[in-house]
Structure 1
Amino acid sequence: MFSYRRLTLSSVAAALLLAGCAAPAVMPPATPQPPAFQAQLLEDVRVLASDEMQGRDTGSAGGEAARAYIVGRMEALGVEAPMMGRLQPWEMTGRSREGAKTWNGVNVLGLVRGTRAADRYIVVTAHYDHVGAHGGQIYNGADDNASGVATMLALAAELKREAPEHSVLFVALDGEERGLLGARHFVEAPPFPLSSIAMNLNFDMTARAETDGKLWVTGTYQHPQFRPILEALPAQGAVALAFGKDTPQDTGEDNWVEASDHAAFHRAGLPFLYLGVNYHPDYHRPSDDFERIDPGVFTSSTRLAIDSFRALDRALDR
């Protein structure tokens, strides 16, 4: 998650290789099969948040290694590349500890075609970059945002098993911590007209819901048509959806409308929802490590995110 109040950024060492909505139909929640589902979910976070990735800073060898891992996972799942290709490179000016700087990043794209509204797209995003290393410590960013990428990959696997109604473009975004750079580039140079995007669903920090037992949904104040769709969803385990952090009364770090990549879609006039957990003591600290994640809580949170996608997919454009 991008913080306007706290930016701990630095360089990195080398690493490895490579629209209108109807009321929701009554449906059972998505139920990916354990234990393989949980095992893969945790493995994705473990790899992306390992010391070998050196904090996944934009433009670094660690960021390149994370990108190669995500590409490999998408290809293993059979998620096709869109016509423009798997990778979307960009060059933009963003923030650094020393001030404004030109950054070179790369977004990773994957497409799953829909069965009912194939020409309408739900763009599912999660940023894979983090803040690198600083003061001799690696900021591994397990929750921020290896977790969101893992949730996105779990959703991709689910949609390969049971196709969505809308086409889905998965975008692993780079440069979020440097000023939402990858998301800003995507909406400036999309692979298809912005008018064909039904909505953006952004995952950022989906693991550590034990703080309050909630997976927060931001954006229903701006797009109230989405709220009744998601309010109907039951909790998964100890994790339930909560709505807010998006009204004029929510100020500072309690307002998440501009807090992550969905802000770029919002500024472009596109419908958005953001799913993420509350702040916790390890946020933007070297202690945001894989070992701090409760497997059961993270699994429940991800299943709830998948349920949310399914509900939105079935209700949109009806």
Structure 2
Amino acid sequence: MLRNLIFLFGFFIVLGSCKQETQKKVTIREDVAFLASDSLQGRETGTAYEMEAAHYLQERMKNIGLLPKGNAGTYFQTFSFKPKTDPHSEVQFVGGDSTITGTNVIGFIDNKADKTVIIGAHYDHLGMGGEGSLYADGEAIHNGADDNASGVAVLLNLAAKLKDTITQHNYLFMAFSGEEMGLLGSNYFSKNPTIDLSKANYMLNMDMVGRMREDKTLSISGTGTTPIWGQVLNSNNPGFKLVLSESGMGPSDHTSFYLQDIPVLHFFTGQHEDYHKPSDDSDKLNYKGMEMISDYILSVLYDLDDDDKLAFRKTKNESEDTPRFKVALGVMPDYLYDGKGMRIDGVSDGKPAAAAGLQKGDVVVKLGDSTVVDMMSYMRALSIFKEGDTTEVTVDRNGEKINATISF
């Protein structure tokens, strides 16, 4: 702990000296390097390591020139809770010995405007593993570089760009705690806001934006939450392969604001084999891709600056249509794949897919008697089976159809 405090003290001295010079720009790479360092032990909600990250974010916001917008004139909004696993259930925020305390970090650009844009990203992660981890070999530091030091670094980058530039909106920047435990920090803020939420125009959420692929695929969900999103996103697109989804509900913090009737967008560059594992490290991120996303979001903000307040629109909750499963194939789907079938982005050791010889990059086109044309048809096909069943699977591997036997 002493080494960590010395590291932090040294960094804050650097921040202070930057202010007196020409205010040295802190890069996206530098923010990720600190937040995803071993010294923060995975930033688990309620730990001293999370608080180290919170103090770092506070100093970064202060250095950028953001005003404190937490509780009692600080950058912090704390909340105590009993952990829940269902991200869409009511959270019991209480005090007492059996609770955990998380800390949202909140900064504000006050342009004296009538409308406010909320920009958020969660900074907590899984600590040494535990529930939610996909690592099977015991405890290890889960640095969470993509999940979600990447989103927080883009948030800070946007804050610096927006200071004293786009002035017809106010901007609230929020690094959420408790996301991995069920969207707790954003849920708490949405019900205990430190601004007037009736003046919130829309909310942008960045969660896992650090692993852009060579084809520049960018997933954006929430596009149905106001009629204008599709037009604005496409007209400002600098060359991304956009995968758009209308639903305002999803497994990240934008959901908490959608449920308050606020238009939302969630930016995401896709799942990968390092998701929720100790191998999600900063050297694997695409920093040029993150800069592109930051610039893209900035262009969207510019485009909407002089528009009227966006009209909120409810969307279909896609999760309600998701079939329930009794078994798992043991693969990570490629959620950004837009071809026919379900492309495998990773295979878990010791699971049915691995035993059948399926590989990363295989496209499942048939499971049992069901043809697989997309993610939903794959899930419907899988939901039919129970433990002990055996069936056939057909995959497309580099243009060749391969049949294999799956035993659940």
Shorter chain as denominator, the TM-score bin is 0.7 to 0.9
Task: Give the conservation status (yes or no) of the 8 Å contact 1:91–1:103.
Answer: yes
User: Which residue pairs with 1:90 in the alignment?
Assistant: 79
1:107 is aligned to: 104
Q: Within 1, Cα distance between the matches of 2:179 and 2:3?
A: 20
Does structure 1 residue 213 correspond to structure 2 residue 216?
A: yes
> How many Å apart are 1:240 and its aligned residue?
1.1
Task: Check if 1:298 corresponds to 2:290.
Answer: yes
Change (3 A) 1:220 1:61: same
SS of match in other structure, 2:242: strand
The residue that corresponds to 1:56 in the other structure is: 43
Residues 146-171 of structure 1, C-alpha deviations (whole Å, 9 max, x = no match): 01000000000001151432101111
Contact 1:207 1:301 in 2 (8 A): no
Aligned to 1:186: 189
Shift of the 156–198 alpha-carbon distance from structure 1 to 2, 3 Å rule, reads same
Q: Does 1:16 align with 2:13?
A: no
Equivalent residue in structure 1 for 2:258, among 266, 276, 279: 266
- 1:152-171 correspondence to structure 2 within 5 Å: 152-171=155-174
1:24-59 residue CA offsets vs partner (Å, 9 max, x unmatched): xxxxxxxxxxxx86x611000110000001000001
CA drift of 1:212 comes to: 4.8
- Identity over the aligned pairs, expressed in percent? 35
Q: How far apart, CA to CA, are the structure 2 residues paired with 1:91 and 1:210? A: 38
Q: Give, in whole Å, the separation in 2 of the partners of 1:136 and 1:272.
A: 36
**Which protein is bigger by CA-based radius of gyration?**
2
2:218, 2:267 within 8 Å by CA — same for their partners in 1?
yes
Aligned CA-pair RMSD: 2.4
Instruction: Tell me how far apart the structure 1 counterparts of residues 184 and 70 of structure 2 sit (CA, whole Å).
Output: 22
What TM-score do the two structures reach when normalised by structure 1? 0.78
Which position in structure 2 is the counterpart of 1:173?
176
Alignment of 1:220-259 (within 5 A): 220-235=223-238, 240=240, 242-246=242-246, 257-259=249-251
* Superposition deviation, residue 60 in structure 1: 0.9
- Look up the SS of the partner of 2:99 in the other structure: strand
Higher relative contact order (CA closer than 8 Å, sequence separation 6+): 1
Q: How far has the Cα of 1:93 moved from its partner?
A: 2.4
Please report the TM-score for the alignment, with normalisation by the length of structure 2. 0.62
8 Å Cα contact 1:14/1:54 also seen in 2: no
* Distance of aligned partners of 1:83 and 1:132 in 2 relative to their CA distance in 1, 3 Å threshold: closer
Give 1:317 shift: 2.5
Question: What is the rounded CA distance, in whole Å, between the counterparts of 2:165 and 2:109 in structure 1?
Answer: 10
Q: How many residues align?
A: 272
